[in-house]
Amino acid sequence: MQTILAIDDSPEIHALLDVRLRPEGLRIEHALTPAEGLAMAASLQPDLILLDVEMPGMGGMEVCSRLKADPATSMIPVIFLTGAEAVDIKVRGFDLGAVDYVTKPFDPAELRARVRAALRTKRFHDMLAARAQLDGLTGLWNRGYFNQRLADEVLAVRRYGRVLSLVMIDVDHFKRLNDGYGHPFGDMALQRIGETLSTHSRATDAACRYGGEEFAMILTETPGDGAMIVAERVRFAIEAMELRPKGKPVLVTASLGVIDAAALGDPAAVTSEAMLMGADAALYRAKEGGRNRVVRGG
C-alpha cells in the first residue's frame, strides 16, 4: 500500500483529504505543523507529500526547500495544496522541485487524478532505481547498493548502537572451474550461489554480489555468533549444490569470512572500511586454512 503524507495546518483539510482519497486504497498520514511534517517525512518515507503552501511560521515553500535539500527526503514527490492562482507562486514551487499543484477547494476527481499520476510516476521511478542496483547475472544487489547499504548500517551502529555483522564469500578455485568447464558453467554456478544467499537472507538483510566470484551478506541485528551460524549454513548449502556439467558432478565450495561490529570495539570507531577489512582478513585466513570453511574475525 502506498503512503501519502499530508502537511496542512487545517484539520478540516485533513478530514476532506481522507474522504476524497479513501477510494484510492491509500494510507494517509497527517501532520498539522511544518516541523511535524518534516520529521514524519524523514521517518515514514512516504510515496507522496501533499503540502499546504500557506501555513503559519514556516510556509510550504520553505518546507519543500528543506525536503529537497535533505538526501533522505529529496526524492519524495511533492504536490502543493493552495488557494492561490498566481502564476509566480506556481513557478516558484516547480523551481523548488514540486511535481504538481492542486487548487483549493478541491475538485474530487481532479485531486484523485493528480495523486494517481504522481504515485504512478513514483512507482516507476522506484522500479527503475531498484533495477539499477541489481546484479544482472545473479539478481542480487550489486556493488553500488552494497557500498551504500553498508554505510547506512554502519551509521546506525554508530548512532544507535545497532547490532551488525558482515559476511564476505569467495568461490574456491573459480578460475579453475571456468577453465575446466567453460564460462557458461561458471555463470550457472554463480547464479545458483546467488539463489542460495537469497534463501538464507531475511528481508532486513542484504545479499550482494561484490564482484566477480565474490559475494557479501549484510546481516542486520545479528551478532557474531548468529552470523557464524548463517555463514556455516551458506557454506554447507553451496557445497551441497548439485551441478553436473556434461553429466558429471562437480563440487563447488566457498570460503567465508565473518566480522561483527562489536568485535571492532567502540561503536563510534566502526566504519565501513573497518568492517570490510575485518571480514576480508577472516576470509583470507579461511583460504589459507584450506578453503571451504568459515572463519570469524576480530
pLDDT in tens, 139-183: 999 999 999 999 999 999 998 899 999 999 999 999 999 999 999
Q: Are strands 48-52 and 78-82 parallel, antiparallel or unpaired?
A: parallel
Span 133-149, pLDDT tens digits: 999 999 999 999 999 99
Nearest to 163 by CA among 259, 297, 234, 232: 259
Q: What pLDDT does residue 103 have?
A: 87
Q: Is 121 helix (H, G, I), strand (E, B) or coil?
A: helix
Strand order in the sheet with 3-7: 27-31, 3-7, 48-52, 78-82, 100-103
| Superfamily (CATH) of domain 143-296 | Reverse transcriptase/Diguanylate cyclase domain (3.30.70.270)
Candidates 213, 214, 221, 232; catalytic one:
213
Cis peptide before 77 (omega within 30 of 0): no
pTM (2 d.p.): 0.68
CATH among 3.30.1060.10, 3.90.1310.10, 3.40.1080.10, 3.40.50.2300 for 3-132: 3.40.50.2300
Q: What pLDDT does residue 267 have?
A: 87
Evaluate the CA torsion angle 82, 40, 155, 152 in order and state its sign.
negative
Q: What pLDDT does residue 198 have?
A: 96
Low-confidence ranges of the chain (pLDDT < 50): none
Q: What pLDDT does residue 89 have?
A: 80
221 is catalytic: no
Residue with cell 551509521: 155
Q: What pLDDT does residue 205 have?
A: 96
